[in-house]
Every structure is written in structure tokens, then in C-alpha cells.
Amino acid sequence: MDLKVFGIGFHKTGTKSLAKALRVLGFTVTGPNNFRDRDIAGTYRDIARSLSAEFDAFQDNPWPLVYREMDRQWPDAKFILTVRDGPAWYASQLEHFRGGTTPMRELVYGPGFGDPRGNEAHYLQRIEMHNLAVRTYFQDRPGKLLEMNITEGDGWDMLCDFLDRPVPERAFPHRNRSQRRKRLARLRAKRAKAGE
């Protein structure tokens, strides 16, 4: 495929759903799985430049950190900023990561902020700053950036119009809805047990 598509929303903003949708549309997609912790500190930008030649579409970390470089390297590329309500996004961070840190999260959120626990204000400020920087960067170039809130129902019509692709005759993928149902079931069971 000639078109490069970069998902540049932070993780837990529908990035897996976006990846699945792009695969359905025929794109070869990569995400954070090609980056090992040892790669993060000094070489992730070099690895991103190299990987961008091998795939058609990109999502999750570290792609939100390299959108400017990717725009320069691939001037005809399109970019998708996946967004999500701040408190729900942070709650998802806590649920998914359950504490601890990684070099990638330290890179995204800053030294000492790799663990989301106790860092809500910092995390919310960081994602808001990122989203604002992306919007500002692309503001004078219509057709380069699509903003999607997949968790609120944005889907095929918006994505296919942006990418000039026909809308598939299937539901838009929502990769983590089952995990959400499981979390809610656990929460209900916990509350019911506490009320005994």
C-alpha cells in the first residue's frame, strides 16, 4: 500500500481497535511489539524510522512521540489522533498496568512517572499536552489529521472517509470491550460481597 497511516494517540485510547480496523482495510500494522526495553532509551527514533518503511500503519507507543519525524519522512502520510475522556483513560491506565514502571512509560510520561499509581494529575496533564501539540502541529493542513474517539462511537464512516476507503460490511472492531465487561462484573461482585 502506498499510504502510510500513523495512529498517534496514547495507549488506552482505542489503539488496538484502530489497529484491527486498519488491518480490515488492508493495511499491515505494527505497534509497540517491535520495541524492546533496551531499545527505548537512545534508539527508538532510529527503529521507528526503519520500521516505518516495513509497514503501512502504526499505532500505540512510541508512535505518538515521533509524529513530527514521521511527517517529515513520509510527507504524504496521514495521522490519526485517538482520544478518550481523561478520567476514564486514567482509570484504564490503572487497571491495565496495575503498578510498576517500564522504560517506555518513563519515556512517555517522564522519569519517575512510569507508574500511573499516584500520578493522576501528571498523566492527565501529559495526555492533554500531547493532544494539544498534535492539533496545533496539524492545524493548518486539512486532510492530514483525523481525531477519533472510538470509545464514544467514532468508527468506519469517519475512518474510511479520511482514508478514502470503502466502508466494510461489518461492525467496527472494539478490542477491549470484553475486558471492560469483565472489570464491571468483578466490581459488581466485590460490591455485592462487601454488602453481605
Q: Determine the pLDDT at residue 196.
A: 55
C-alpha cell at 122: 501528571
Cell numbers 500500500: residue: 1
Average pLDDT over residues 78-102: 91
Q: What is the pTM of this model?
A: 0.86
pLDDT > 80? residue 177: no
| CATH number, domain with residue 79 | 3.40.50.300
Q: Locate the DSSP E strands across the chain.
A: 5-7, 29-30, 57-58, 78-82, 145-148
Q: How far apart are CA 69 and CA 113, in angstroms?
A: 25
Q: Determine the pLDDT at residue 184.
A: 52
pLDDT > 50? residue 114: yes
Q: Which of 21-30, 116-125, 186-195 has the lowest mean pLDDT?
A: 186-195
Domain span at residue 11 reads 5-194
Beta bridge partners of 148: 82
Q: Determine the pLDDT at residue 132.
A: 98
The full length of the chain comes to: 196
Q: Determine the pLDDT at residue 178.
A: 43
Q: How far apart are CA 188 and CA 170, in angstroms?
A: 32
Confidence of residue 179 (pLDDT cuts 50, 70, 90): low
Task: Answer yes or no: are the C-beta atoms of 72 and 55 closer than 8 Å.
Answer: no
| Closest-CA residue to 5 (of 127, 124, 162, 153) | 162
Q: Which of 36-40, 44-48, 93-97, 145-149 has the lowest mean pLDDT?
A: 36-40
Whether residue 166 is preceded by a cis peptide bond, meaning omega within 30 degrees of 0, is no
pLDDT > 90? residue 155: yes
Q: How many domains does the chain have?
A: 1
**179: helix, coil or strand?**
helix
